[in-house]
Amino acid sequence: MSRSITYNSSPLLASPTPVWRSKFIVAAIALAFVGLAGRAVYIQVIENDFFQRQGEVRFARTLALPANRGRILDRNGVILASSIPVPSIWAIPEDVDRDPANLKKLAKLLGMSLVDLNKKLHDEDKTFVWLKRQVDESAGKEIEALKIKGIYQRKEYKRQYPEGEAVAHVVGFTNVEDRGQEGMELTFNTDLGGRNGSRRVIKDRMGRVVEAVGEQIAPVDGRDLQLSIDSKVQFFAYQTLKEAVLLHKAKAGSVVVLDVLTGEVLALANYPSYVPDKRQNLSGEQLRNRALTDTFEPGSTMKPFIIGLAMDTGRVSPQTGIQTAPGRMSIGNATISDSHPHSMLTVAEVIQKSSNVGTVKIAMQMPAREMWEMYSRVGFGQKPQVPFPGVVSGRLRPYKAWRPIEQATMSYGYGLSVSLMQLAHAYTVFGREGDLVPLSMLKVSQPRAGQPVFKGKVARDVRNMLHLVTGPGGTAPKAQTMGYSVGGKTGTAHKVEGRGYASKRYRGVFAGLAPIDAPRIAVAVMIDEPTNGKYFGGDTAAPVFSTTVQQTLRVLGVAPDMTVVPQVVTELVEESF
């Protein structure tokens, strides 16, 4: 039997419900749906850009597509600097598996202590931290094999320098971001670096790319740079210089080799040096490119320029006699003397014997202005026009401020200062027809015109005098070179100390040319503070010149112009300084 349900029997169901209440509830629900729909329209249509940006801030990333840095090559195409891809190790600290055994292995592969590794991973709020950048490829593979959660790798470019310390001061180096910091790497950083590309991606919290968005911009690789340096000449010059510095227990040394025909820098070496891609615990002593950044008083290497000026203006000839007895002379309260007294010397012998007295007597015949203008024309007191950081101009005071004693001392290299590059460059005047060729650190294909300084005959006459310096009776027989005729001038100068000169601290210098009849190269050498008993330029710098000339001319394929061996000289004629 069916039972009928009486709703009135329940007090709740029997209570009267107003019609407006149900309508209100339905209307409220409908209004909520309308609000949600409006909000959806607002977010997805009206303010879509704002929320899109907020999403991108949290998950979208712009990844750099690094350009491959250009190579640095020597004049023959030998690689001096190049970039290779290597792994860099990073981590998400809060995700790292802290298994002690694995972390110990990781620290060892990264070349750091476990304490240092834990310090890098200490901040649990970090979502990214570099552990070590640019590790060896083998280390990267071993780290990957550990499969430690939260440890990741990224490919970066690392700079390599195959020629090492021999070419360090020319090439320089880059930092971990592959930006040039020294040398040609810094000077031509924009050209070498190229332009990085980019791509926009969506990453998950693990740093993994899950989607590419937007247009990808391809990187533009850097341009290769071809230097004027010859890597073989550079290596031989550096090794010879290093041996001389160690032999004489000197503080440092530099050597510059120039092509007289083109003005190209074939070698520029300094010792001490450094390995460009291993720069731990370096000092300024190692990093400094002394041939361009250090200046010194050049001593007797200035005498050929004074003689050249006097001959160019018709005041003297190579055979003109100069009375130098009794080996000293006074200007005001100062006395100028020769290391060994001579009597009457020809102008050529003034250079051969390196007579201060003879040089001063010739210099004092000229107005100070003529000396200053000549020194300026050969580049003294001006920065060498080479694209290199830290190049210095040296010191050449205005001629109007010269006192007679200063004009006298400047004639034999005191009272002005030059860099070794300036000195080598100036000597190219005598190797050419009296003109100064522009310098270049980049390869030059053709000989270049220079700025006139002396007449061609004067340059040839001075060259013959320089040849006498390296022969019997000269101050630099140790500059003689097997198979090649050479010429040059020694210089030995006290080092400046405070307002005066140090009594037992010297620089030995030699600058010269080879072969003497048709010069191809100019070479300048400086040995700083030799302390092993010998300090004259003829003893310390001239042998470096000799070896460097012989090796350089052979590398350049210059035929020998001498069939006899250099004369063995047991006693060196000391130069005046």
DSSP 418: B
3-state class (DSSP) for residue 436: strand
Q: How far apart are CA 478 and CA 534, in angstroms?
A: 13
Instruction: Name the token pair of 336.
Output: 């100028």
**How would you classify residue 123: left for phi > 0, otherwise alpha for psi between -120 and 50, otherwise beta?**
beta
Instruction: Name the token pair of 179.
Output: 């930006």
Could you tell me which of 212, 183, 1 has the C-alpha nearest to residue 81? 183
Find tokens 């899950």 and name the residue: 210
Other beta carbons less than 10 A from residue 446's beta carbon: 6
Phi and psi at residue 122, to the nearest 5°: -65, -40
Instruction: Name the token pair of 510.
Output: 């030699």
Instruction: Name the token pair of 560.
Output: 């020998």
Q: Which residues are catalytic?
A: 300
Could you tell me which of 539, 552, 507 has the C-alpha nearest to residue 257? 552
The pairing of beta strand 225-226 with beta strand 72-73: parallel
Q: Check whether the bond before 318 is cis (ω within 30° of 0).
A: no
CB 432 within 8 A of CB 450: yes
Q: How far apart are CA 24 and CA 455, in angstroms?
A: 113
3-state class (DSSP) for residue 148: coil
CB 352 within 8 A of CB 312: no
Residues contacting 20, CB < 8 A, separation 6+: none
Could you tell me which of 253, 339, 305, 286 has the C-alpha nearest to residue 542? 253
**Measured between alpha carbons, how far apart are the two ends of the chain, in Å?**
142
Q: What is the DSSP string of 304-318?
A: HHHHHHHHHTTS--T
Other beta carbons less than 10 A from residue 500's beta carbon: 8
How many angstroms from the chain centroid is the CA of residue 315? 43
Return the sign of the alpha-carbon dihedral for residues 39, 40, 41, 47: positive
Instruction: Name the token pair of 391.
Output: 């190049």
